[in-house]
């Protein structure tokens, strides 16, 4: 850390603090609008800039925990432009997490009915051109491959939840346990032709009182992660509960 001294140092410190406070005061969509403004200001060509995940759903976004997930679409792959976009995003807000695709790759994701295609369809486009809009608007239904990938994602998230718990990173343990059960519920819904996106939709899609109660608990722990992380036995019980239900829902047990 660089020490600040004198009036100039004090002004720099105040400016840095003010910038951080300004970012914290901004809603996720406002943060991405600033990203879009900066990209446009630098005359960087984009086909689309779409906010996905909890950042597109205020009720699901948890300040200090959730990433601000953004899908950026280019006409063609361009590593130099990609590096410029990533540099701008890191300046705007370190919480921004980018997925950068070219239009051909976007089309293949939709043809494969990848989980990302459903999140993009449910997202909020801040920039989108005609060809990209046509891809995003096309009908997409879950397939057997969608279900398989969601089940695999659920098991992977569980491993991360246990690893985080053993490392005493209780905040990440809560997040991964929540993701694991969400993936498993989505997999079960996808097997029947649906793909719930928001927490409310996932809770509605959950089958059985036990699964609904467990998911509701994990949603609450995630939203109140600061206090929950101070209770290791509670976090461990949540991880174990998620483990048992993911096994039940994915047939891994």
Strand partners, 72: 49, 100
Predicted pLDDT at 251: 85
Structure confidence by residue, pLDDT tens digits, 106-121: 999 999 999 999 999 9
Mean pLDDT of the chain: 91
* Residue-level pLDDT at 58: 83
For residue 14, what pLDDT is reported? 42
pLDDT on residue 150: 98
Q: Does domain 27-137 have CATH number 3.30.460.10?
A: yes
140-161: per-residue pLDDT in tens?
999 999 999 999 999 999 999 9
Task: Give residue 26's pLDDT.
Answer: 72
- CB-CB neighbours of 56 under 10 Å: 24
Say what the pLDDT of residue 64 is: 92
Cβ(36)–Cβ(126) under 8 Å?
yes
> What is the pLDDT, as a whole number, of residue 252?
63
Which of 8-22, 106-120, 136-150, 230-244 comes out lowest in average pLDDT?
Answer: 8-22
Q: CATH number for 144-250: choose from 1.20.120, 2.60.40, 2.40.50, 1.10.287.
A: 1.20.120
Mapping DSSP onto H, E and C, the string for 179-243 reads HHHHHHHHHHHHCCCCCCCCHHHHHHHCCCHHHHHHHHHHHHHHHCHHHHCCCHHHHHHHHHHHH
Quick one: average pLDDT of 46-70?
Answer: 95
Return the domain boundaries, the chain. 27-137, 144-250
Which percentage of the chain shows pLDDT scores above 70?
Answer: 89
Q: What is the pLDDT of residue 235?
A: 97
Tens digits of per-residue pLDDT, 181-200?
Answer: 999 999 999 999 999 999 99
Residue 21: predicted pLDDT: 47
CA distances from 220 to 115, 169, 178, 189, 223 (A): 24, 18, 10, 22, 5
For residue 19, pLDDT over 80 is answered with no
Examine the pLDDT at 33 and tell me if it is beyond 80: yes
- Which pLDDT band holds residue 130 (cuts at 50, 70, 90)? very high
């Amino acid at each position: 850390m660089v020490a600040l001294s004198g009036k100039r140092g004090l002004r720099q410190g105040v400016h840095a603090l003010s910038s951080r406070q300004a970012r914290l005061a901004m809603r996720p969509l406002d943060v991405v609008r600033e990203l879009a403004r900066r990209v446009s200001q630098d005359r960087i060509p984009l086909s689309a800039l779409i906010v996905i995940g909890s950042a597109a759903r205020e009720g699901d976004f948890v300040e200090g925990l959730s990433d601000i997930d953004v899908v950026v679409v280019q006409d063609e792959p361009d590593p130099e432009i990609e590096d410029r976009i990533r540099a701008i995003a890191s300046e705007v807000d370190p919480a921004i997490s980018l997925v950068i695709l070219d239009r051909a790759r976007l089309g293949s994701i939709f043809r494969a009915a990848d989980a990302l295609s459903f999140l993009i369809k449910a997202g909020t486009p801040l920039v989108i051109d005609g060809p990209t809009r046509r891809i995003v608007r096309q009908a997409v239904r879950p397939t057997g491959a969608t279900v398989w990938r969601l089940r695999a994602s659920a098991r992977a998230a569980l491993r991360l939840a246990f690893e985080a718990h053993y490392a005493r990173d209780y905040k990440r343990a809560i997040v991964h346990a929540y993701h694991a059960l969400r993936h498993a519920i989505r997999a079960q819904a996808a097997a029947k032709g649906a793909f719930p996106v928001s927490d409310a939709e996932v809770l509605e899609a959950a089958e059985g009182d036990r699964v609904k109660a467990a998911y509701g608990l994990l949603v609450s722990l995630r939203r109140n992660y600061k206090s929950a992380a101070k209770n290791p036995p509670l976090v461990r019980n949540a991880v174990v509960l998620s483990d048992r239900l993911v096994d039940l829902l994915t047939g891994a047990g």
